[in-house]
């Protein structure tokens, strides 16, 4: 067999595995894998630096399938390259990532060939995709990460990190706003390690893109500052390879390749139709298509002789040699730069360096106090010095969010200064969310920041963070009505409730400066959990911890801050964030009036839920039914803590534009109302 025939055979194996899997599942997307098999073949077998035996080799090229519905492309290529499985501790498991059996059970329960690419579930998947646009946006974070890692760790004689990022996108990805935000940022930053290939098939679910998408996409990317190329035939592997070679030689700009393709390529009756997008071909059409490929019509899930060997000789041999060479390089690097090598090893395992929490501040009691965002800024500046690979920034609100790293040498990440630790995401919240994910997937400890109310703008990325179990950090300030005069457009109401509803996301709303410190202490130790810090704009009293319990209780999510004599309360006040000090003030009045009141500070529902029942019952004794929660946010969900006999002082409407004091009065966030409501609850009004 000639080399060309072998290439064709390998490509048709990807196509027919995809067709058969979708047919067997009676669900899925065959058309795009049929069209893009040559592209994926070329990237993987001819170009990518990737060792299938060690899919988490740190200097591997990254491959992102942003049009995640074409997942059969990934399952086929991971299978044919015999990519190995690894576990959450980054150990190789000695079994393939995706077996032929998984592919036979495409989209079935527990198969390693699920409907869409899932990071963590299938080794070799670099990021979860399916929500269109997220993959390409995340790839920008991966590209920023590579630049930063190279700048921080490479030495002239040791190019440790020189990998590239390849992302494949469909029309849907190109239409989504998040991709536009991310492409704009990538162009600005001149990320020449990044290549997007746009599957220009002009078909989406509702039909031809003539009805929706007629702009000059290539012109748009030129305007973003990308190097734009075109390959007019998706079956021309040599042309694809040439375009990728040009990408690898291009410096100072990311690369955008327009690839003209035919969805459902080879299917006599489905090619170029939207029917090829998301429906099985049907038995008869499968036969006709296989005939068109010169494939045995009745064979199913066929991997012809020589195909595995062809991939082993291509990506397998190349990847193994490159990795071997890199391992030797890393050993020599370690001998010369032992401290940096240790850093890299810790970072890759998501461990913290020794002394990571040294010099964290302790705030003295102070009735005037400190704003949550101020305390956060101080803590971040300490942590970023202790943890070299902690970096991040804001979506143009750093002066308000207090996320700027201001110590000497922190630097600003720009094209010419890729070692800077202050990222400037610009006013691109959604891309910021995806970029933070891309950084975290690259093992950098990353944070993003904006006003709390605008977390809606990046929620899809935050959801993926949780789904992927990434230890990302989102710093959201102006967490309630503290933004007073800016009015209801800037005052979050339903946001806490909606974040608390995301499985696996840890939301913390600390009540004073020392709780902010403890919140960060907790968050930094997470390995597989994203966290949101909701922080106040305005100063909050710093509680006297010699009088009240230690802020270390934050680590349990909720703790008894102030208690009734003998620890037997008849009333429990539960508060978070800026309402904590109000609850304490009300508590003092109630105690003076002879009421056995307890204050529970509850910065994090999620964390509290993870505690054993004995602890939870010690904080909220089931026998105490008079419970009052105070939170300047939607009351939604508080019933679970206050019970049917309890009450909630919260928000049931949007806020209003006025100074904070007036708003507190209007919406009833005052100690007097808390006292009165508590007395009502106890029947002592």
Q: Name the minimum Å distance from CB 118 to Mg ion.
A: 22
Q: Which of 16, 59, 67, 81 binds ligand TPP (CB under 6 A)?
A: 67
Q: Which of 9, 203, 523, 628 binds ligand TPP (CB under 6 A)?
A: 203
The smaller minimum CB distance to Mg ion, of residues 279 and 570, is found at: 279
Q: Tell me which of Mg ion, ligand TPP, none is bound by residue 223, counting a contact when its beta carbon lies within the kind-specific cut-off of 5 to 8 angstroms.
A: none
Q: Name the minimum Å distance from CB 669 to Mg ion.
A: 51
How many other CB atoms are there within 10 angstroms of residue 228's CB atom?
Answer: 19
- Note whether 245 and 231 are within 8 A (CB): no
Torsion of CA 304, 310, 311, 316, to 10 degrees: 140
Question: Which span (66-74, 400-408, 440-448, 594-602) binds ligand TPP, by CB under 6 A?
Answer: 66-74
What residue number has its CB nearest to ligand TPP? 170
- Note whether 390 and 546 are within 8 A (CB): no
The smaller minimum CB distance to ligand TPP, of residues 49 and 430, is found at: 430
Residue 261 engages Mg ion in binding (rule: CB under 5 A): no
Residue 69 engages ligand TPP in binding (rule: CB under 6 A): yes
Residue 244 exposed, middle or buried by CB count within 10 Å (0-12, 13-18, 19+) = buried
What DSSP assignment string belongs to 422-442? EEE--S-HHHHHHHHHHHHHT
The smaller minimum CB distance to Mg ion, of residues 201 and 385, is found at: 201
Tell me the pairing of strands 597-601 and 559-562.
Answer: antiparallel
Say which residues have a Cβ less than 8 Å from residue 630's Cβ, sequence separation at least 6: 573, 574, 575, 579, 582, 583, 648, 649, 650, 669, 674
Phi, psi of 575 (to 5 degrees): -145, 160
The smaller minimum CB distance to Mg ion, of residues 217 and 352, is found at: 217
Q: Name the minimum Å distance from CB 40 to Mg ion.
A: 16
Q: Tell me which of Mg ion, ligand TPP, none is bound by residue 655, counting a contact when its beta carbon lies within the kind-specific cut-off of 5 to 8 angstroms.
A: none
Residue 203 engages Mg ion in binding (rule: CB under 5 A): yes
Instruction: In whole angstroms, give the CA distance from residue 348 to residue 442.
Output: 8
- Note whether 66 and 135 are within 8 A (CB): yes
Binding footprint of Mg ion, residue count (CB under 5 A): 4
Residue 59 engages ligand TPP in binding (rule: CB under 6 A): no
Phi, psi of 221 (to 5 degrees): -70, -35
Q: What would the x/- binding string for ligand TPP be over residues 113 to 132, using CB under 6 A?
A: -----------------xxx
Q: Which of 38, 133, 135, 170 binds Mg ion (CB under 5 A)?
A: 170
Q: Name the minimum Å distance from CB 388 to ligand TPP.
A: 35
Q: Tell me which of Mg ion, ligand TPP, none is bound by residue 313, counting a contact when its beta carbon lies within the kind-specific cut-off of 5 to 8 angstroms.
A: none
Residue 254 engages ligand TPP in binding (rule: CB under 6 A): no
Residue 172 engages ligand TPP in binding (rule: CB under 6 A): yes
- Note whether 649 and 629 are within 8 A (CB): yes
The smaller minimum CB distance to Mg ion, of residues 114 and 170, is found at: 170
The single-letter DSSP state of residue 542 is E
Q: Name the minimum Å distance from CB 199 to ligand TPP.
A: 6
Binding footprint of ligand TPP, residue count (CB under 6 A): 18
Termini Cα distance of the chain: 92
- Note whether 472 and 526 are within 8 A (CB): no
The smaller minimum CB distance to ligand TPP, of residues 270 and 373, is found at: 270
Residue 168 engages Mg ion in binding (rule: CB under 5 A): no
| Active-site annotation holder among 181, 285, 429, 579 | 429
Window 19 to 58, contacts with ligand TPP (CB under 6 A): 32
Q: Name the minimum Å distance from CB 226 to Mg ion.
A: 20
**Annotation marks residue 343 as catalytic:** no
Q: Which of 51, 102, 126, 171 binds Mg ion (CB under 5 A)?
A: 171
Q: Name the minimum Å distance from CB 281 to Mg ion.
A: 17
The edge-to-edge listing of strands for the beta sheet with 62-65 is 62-65, 165-169, 194-200, 255-260, 227-231
Radius of gyration in angstroms for the set of CA atoms belonging to the chain, rounded to a whole number: 28
- Give the CA angle between residues 6, 8, 10 to the nearest 5°: 70
Q: Name the minimum Å distance from CB 153 to ligand TPP.
A: 35
Q: Which of 62, 152, 253, 277 binds ligand TPP (CB under 6 A)?
A: 277
Residue 555 exposed, middle or buried by CB count within 10 Å (0-12, 13-18, 19+) = middle
Q: Which of 93, 205, 321, 327 binds ligand TPP (CB under 6 A)?
A: 205
Window 287 to 306, contacts with Mg ion (CB under 5 A): none
Phi, psi of 56 (to 5 degrees): -115, 20
Element (H, E) at 159: none
Q: Name the minimum Å distance from CB 292 to ligand TPP.
A: 20
Q: What would the x/- binding string for ligand TPP be over residues 397 to 436, using CB under 6 A?
A: ----------------------------------------
The smaller minimum CB distance to Mg ion, of residues 180 and 203, is found at: 203
Residue 201 engages Mg ion in binding (rule: CB under 5 A): yes
Secondary structure of residue 111 in the 3-state scheme: coil
Instruction: In whole angstroms, give the CA distance from residue 455 to residue 473.
Output: 12
What DSSP assignment string belongs to 608-661? HHTS-HHHHHHHS-TT---EEEEEEEE-TTTHHHH-TT-EEEEESS---SS-HH
Tell me the pairing of strands 539-542 and 506-508.
Answer: unpaired
Q: Which of 263, 535, 674, 678 binds ligand TPP (CB under 6 A)?
A: 263
Residue 171 engages ligand TPP in binding (rule: CB under 6 A): yes
Size (the chain), residues = 685
What residue number has its CB nearest to Mg ion? 171
Q: Binding residues for ligand TPP, per CB under 6 A?
A: 32, 67, 69-70, 130-132, 170-173, 199, 201, 203-205, 263, 277
Catalytic residues: 429
């Amino acid at each position: 067999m000639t080399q060309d025939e072998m290439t064709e055979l390998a490509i048709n194996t990807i196509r027919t595995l995809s067709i058969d899997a979708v047919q067997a599942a009676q669900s899925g997307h065959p058309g795009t894998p049929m069209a893009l098999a040559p592209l994926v073949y070329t990237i993987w077998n001819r170009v990518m630096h990737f060792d299938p035996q060690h899919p988490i080799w740190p200097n591997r090229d990254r491959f992102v399938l942003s049009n995640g519905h074409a997942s059969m492309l990934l399952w086929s290529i991971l299978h044919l390259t015999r990519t190995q499985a690894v576990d959450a501790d980054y150990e190789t498991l000695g079994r393939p990532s995706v077996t032929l059996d998984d592919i036979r059970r495409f989209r079935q329960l527990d198969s390693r060939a699920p409907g869409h690419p899932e990071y963590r579930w299938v080794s070799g998947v670099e990021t979860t995709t399916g929500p269109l646009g997220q993959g390409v946006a995340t790839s920008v974070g991966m590209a920023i990460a590579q630049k930063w890692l190279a700048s921080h760790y490479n030495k002239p004689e040791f190019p440790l990190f020189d990998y590239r990022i390849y992302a494949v996108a469909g029309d849907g990805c190109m239409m989504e706003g998040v991709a536009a935000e991310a492409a704009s940022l990538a162009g600005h930053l001149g990320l020449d390690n990044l290549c997007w290939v746009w599957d220009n098939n002009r078909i989406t679910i509702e039909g031809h893109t003539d009805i929706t998408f007629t702009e000059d996409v290539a012109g748009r990317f030129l305007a973003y500052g990308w190097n734009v190329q075109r390959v007019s035939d998706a079956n021309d592997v040599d042309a694809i390879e040439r375009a990728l070679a040009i990408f690898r030689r291009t410096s100072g700009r990311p690369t955008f390749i327009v690839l003209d393709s035919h969805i459902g390529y080879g299917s006599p009756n489905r090619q170029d139709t939207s029917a090829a997008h998301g429906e099985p071909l049907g038995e008869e059409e499968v036969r006709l298509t296989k005939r068109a490929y010169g494939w045995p019509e009745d064979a199913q899930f066929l991997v012809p002789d020589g195909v595995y060997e062809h991939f082993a000789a291509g990506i397998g041999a190349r990847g193994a040699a490159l990795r071997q060479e890199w391992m030797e390089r890393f050993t020599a690097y370690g001998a010369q730069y032992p401290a940096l090598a240790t850093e890299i090893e810790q970072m890759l395992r998501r461990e913290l360096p020794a002394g990571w929490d040294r010099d964290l501040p302790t705030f003295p009691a102070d009735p005037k106090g400190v704003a949550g965002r101020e305390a956060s800024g101080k803590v971040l500046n300490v942590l970023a010095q202790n943890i070299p690979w902690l970096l991040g920034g804001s979506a143009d609100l750093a002066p308000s969010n207090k996320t700027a790293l201001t110590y000497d040498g922190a630097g600003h990440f720009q094209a010419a200064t890729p070692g800077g630790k202050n990222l400037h995401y610009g006013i691109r919240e959604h891309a910021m969310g995806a970029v933070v994910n891309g950084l975290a997937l690259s093992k950098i400890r990353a944070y993003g920041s904006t006003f709390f109310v605008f977390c809606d703008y990046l929620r899809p990325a935050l959801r993926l963070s949780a789904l992927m179990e990434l230890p990302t950090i989102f710093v959201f300030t102006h967490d309630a009505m503290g933004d007073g005069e800016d009015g209801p457009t800037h005052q979050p109401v339903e946001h806490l409730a909606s974040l608390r509803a995301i499985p696996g996301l840890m939301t913390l709303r600390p009540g004073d400066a020392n709780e902010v410190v403890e919140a960060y202490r907790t968050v930094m130790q997470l390995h597989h959990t994203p966290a949101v810090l909701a922080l106040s704009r305005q100063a909050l009293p710093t509680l006297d911890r010699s009088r009240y319990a230690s802020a270390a209780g934050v680590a349990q999510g909720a703790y008894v801050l102030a208690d009734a004599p003998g620890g037997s309360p008849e009333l429990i006040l539960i508060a978070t964030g800026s309402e904590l000090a109000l609850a304490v003030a009300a508590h003092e009045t109630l105690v003076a009036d002879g009421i056995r009141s307890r204050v529970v500070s509850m910065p994090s529902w999620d964390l509290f839920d993870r505690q054993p029942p004995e602890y939870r019952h010690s904080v909220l004794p089931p026998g105490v039914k008079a419970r009052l929660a105070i939170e300047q946010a939607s009351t939604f969900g508080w019933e679970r803590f206050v019970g049917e006999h309890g009450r909630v002082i919260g928000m049931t409407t949007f806020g209003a534009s006025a100074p904070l004091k007036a708003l507190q009065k209007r919406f009833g966030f005052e100690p007097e109302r808390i006292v009165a409501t508590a007395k009502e609850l106890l029947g002592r009004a």
